[in-house]
A and B are shown apart, each in its own frame.
Chain A
Amino acid sequence: MTASNAVELGRLGLDQGGYLLIKHALRTVPVGSAIQVSGESPELAIHLRSWCRTQGHRIDFLSQTSADHAPIAIIYRGGAETGRWVGAQSTGDASMPQQHAPACWGLAGRSATVEAGSPSFEFPLNTRTEVWAQEVARLYAQALAAQWNPIAAIPWNEPFDLPDEIEDAVVQVMTYLIENETAALIIPARFAAQIHPHFREVMQLLAIQAADEARHIEVFTRRALLRRTKLGLSTAGGQASLKTLLDETDFTLSGMLLSVLGEGSFLSLLSFLHQHAPDPVTREIARMVSQDEARHVAFGVAHLTWHVNEQPSCLDRLAIAIERRHDMLANTAGLNEEVFDALILLAAGSLQPEALRAGWNKVQTLIADMDQGRIKRLRKIGFPDSKAQSLSALHTRNFM
């Protein structure tokens, strides 16, 4: 018997973790082969006996008491542990996911070995084509590094004084933003729970995206209530537009409508608010939120680009989804008048006719800017110029 086949427990009891040494030694010998155990813990013989029984190892006792470190028992390795891993499944490579993740891999991390007979989990989003993006690991790391604390990042106490109607306009825009951010939280949160954990980076990215949106809801709410006790108006048309986003159950189509077109348009809106908002708090909020939104748009574009690249016919589905949403919203008001007017007022900063003219022009520029952004991203995904233009024109008047 070699040294590795002999376990000297000394005074370490099995009830103090001593069985780990025995397990370790048993793993070094083939099933059916023996190891020797010696030790002086008073309960050792009793514990060895019951432990071997439950683990399925045969045990022969040499003597009941151990003198001079003489072995007290011989344990013959049973087949249960190796039996447990017969037919176990490899879940692929740690660095790159497989094309298809089976339900029986369950919650196991990528590259873990999964015991046969483990329960199946029905994660509907289980193929690389439909969920993956080239950039996803980098975008997740970036998102993690760029988390910000609203208390420290926003100059909440910076003094400003706005005319009542301008403050009202800011509150109305915040009211509109809050409900849009709420949709933007619910959608990735829901998909995060449907992605097979094999595509861990996508699940993680969606989770942090939902956390970003939670923060956006918070800062917009806090700005709205900075000088007022309640929010402004929420319109049926605005909510109808958001409802079509929530009703879209296809991950790729949702990515198109929410991230590429919706959040893409929001980038222009946030840049508008950063430049033209009448107070320093709103301007800084817009700047911080816009950094997060840029990542959301980047993932949407990366994911869609990946999917179209893997499956070019997907472009037709995307176009149909945009057209269908347009048709569904054709009879609604789209962007509510209150929001539109509020944007003009907010950019004007006063009710002076010259200021209003300037505000009006800035909103026209914003709308053109949104259109250009959408066309650029649609082309990036793979739509030809003319199609990108016509699809952008169909985008909801609610912006999101």
Chain B
Amino acid sequence: MTKPFLLGAVAYDAKVVTIWDGFQRWFAQHDFAFDYMLYSNYEQQVEGHFSGHFHVAWNSPLAWLQAERIAVRTGRTVKAIAMRDTDCDLTSVIVVRQDSPIQTIRDLRNKTVAVGASDSPQATLIPLLHLAEAGLEPEKDVNVHRFDLLVGKHGDHIGGERHAAKALIDGRVDAACMIDGNHLLFAREGTLPANSTRILAQTAEYDHCNFTVLDTAPIEAVARFRELLLSMSYDDPAVRPLLDLEGLKQWRPGRTEKYALLARAIDRFHTVDAFVDKVSNACR
């Protein structure tokens, strides 16, 4: 039996098992031995990756930046080989109540802004960078109310954003941050009734998750894995339910230029410095 190509993923929800079990079956049908291991948080996964526990990581954008920085510090190289079509060109929005007197970002001075988990790029880090670059330093010029659900999952779980949205509707906060698509989703599920809110600001574009490999990954297997991913078609009934569960229509080649916004945020807030130090020193 050939050794399987191993993926590391974070179990942010029970459906993760269904998804990767399904992909494992699909890969097996295409004569590709694939297996996966699950971590409870991205920090464990990034450490595991550098310890050689698996070949490819399904990384959050923050985990990608962590890996990239550790690689720079330890003389390794990382590559993003593929990503979801739905993870490209995202934006986050800062939302206020429709009847709120707040008209511009500057009106948020000394007000309270609800964000998601402290390590969520879309619901916390990128929106707070947007405020900071507009002259409102978080915790200093503007109060930050964190809905710190499931730290370590990098905001993959939607719960924090939903709590922030509810707090806005209930009047407990003055503004709430979320990924653009969730504004529409929360309207649809009734968390944010239509016309009850107004979008105050929209951030610049950024990308989300990718499949990350280190320079030690087996070249042929990585190439075959990537080729198979990119060949997955939404027309194929065997793979369509998995794509639906994972929330994409098509895998795309990886790209890294749109992580710049998040990189700027974590530089400013020193979000990953201690972690990068710790893992880099351990690797040396």
Decide if A46 touches B235 in the complex (CB within 8 Å).
Answer: no
Please give, as numbers and ranges, the residues of chain B lying within 8 Å of A55 by CB-CB distance: 249
Partner of B234, one of A46, A47, A80: A80
- Given contacts A53-B86, A56-B249, A56-B250, A46 and B237 within 8 Å (CB-CB): no
Per DSSP, are chain A's interface residues mostly helix, strand or loop, or mixed? helix
Cα–Cα distance between A79 and B89 once the two chains are bound (Å): 20
Partner of A46, one of B85, B86, B199, B241: B199
Decide if A50 touches B234 in the complex (CB within 8 Å).
Answer: no
Interface size on B, residues (CB 8 A): 30
Cα–Cα distance between A86 and B234 once the two chains are bound (Å): 9
8 closest Cβ contacts across the A-B interface?
A117-B237, A15-B187, A116-B237, A50-B181, A56-B249, A83-B235, A83-B234, A86-B235
Decide if B237 touches A16 in the complex (CB within 8 Å).
Answer: no
Cα–Cα distance between A340 and B192 once the two chains are bound (Å): 71
Please give, as numbers and ranges, the residues of chain A lying within 8 Å of B24 by CB-CB distance: none
Q: Tell me if B65 is interfacial: C-beta within 8 Å of chain A.
A: no
Please give, as numbers and ranges, the residues of chain B lying within 8 Å of A50 by CB-CB distance: 179-181, 183-184
Cα–Cα distance between A84 and B234 once the two chains are bound (Å): 7
Please give, as numbers and ranges, the residues of chain B lying within 8 Å of A14 by CB-CB distance: 184
Please give, as numbers and ranges, the residues of chain B lying within 8 Å of A43 by CB-CB distance: 183, 198-199
Please give, as numbers and ranges, the residues of chain A lying within 8 Å of B179 by CB-CB distance: 50
Decide if B180 touches A117 in the complex (CB within 8 Å).
Answer: no
Q: Tell me if A51 is interfacial: C-beta within 8 Å of chain B.
A: yes
Q: Tell me if A87 is interfacial: C-beta within 8 Å of chain B.
A: yes
CB distance from B206 to the nearest CB of A (A): 13
Decide if B194 touches A16 in the complex (CB within 8 Å).
Answer: yes
Interface of B toward A, CB cutoff 8 Å: 85-86, 88-91, 93, 179-181, 183-184, 187-188, 192, 194-195, 198-199, 202, 233-235, 237-238, 240-241, 247, 249-250
- Given contacts A43-B199, A53-B86, A80 and B249 within 8 Å (CB-CB): yes
- Given contacts A43-B199, A56-B234, A80-B234, A15 and B188 within 8 Å (CB-CB): yes
Please give, as numbers and ranges, the residues of chain B lying within 8 Å of A42 by CB-CB distance: 198-199
Cα–Cα distance between A303 and B96 once the two chains are bound (Å): 66
Query: Chain B residue with minimal CB distance to A13?
Result: B194
- A/B interface sample: 27 pairs, CB < 8 A: A14-B184, A15-B192, A16-B187, A16-B194, A42-B199, A43-B199, A46-B91, A46-B180, A46-B183, A46-B199, A46-B202, A47-B180, A47-B183, A49-B91, A50-B183, A53-B88, A53-B90, A53-B181, A54-B86, A55-B249, A56-B85, A56-B234, A80-B234, A80-B249, A83-B235, A87-B237, A117-B241
Query: Chain B residue with minimal CB distance to A116?
Result: B237
- Given contacts A15-B188, A16-B194, A56-B85, A49 and B180 within 8 Å (CB-CB): yes
Query: Chain B residue with minimal CB distance to A58?
Result: B85
Cα–Cα distance between A53 and B206 once the two chains are bound (Å): 13
CB distance from A105 to the nearest CB of B (A): 14
Cα–Cα distance between A16 and B193 once the two chains are bound (Å): 9
Q: Tell me if A102 is interfacial: C-beta within 8 Å of chain B.
A: no
Please give, as numbers and ranges, the residues of chain A lying within 8 Å of B234 by CB-CB distance: 56, 79-80, 83-84
Cα–Cα distance between A59 and B23 once the two chains are bound (Å): 29
Interface centre among A55, A56, A87 (most CB of B within 10 A): A56
Please give, as numbers and ranges, the residues of chain A lying within 8 Å of B235 by CB-CB distance: 79, 83, 86-87
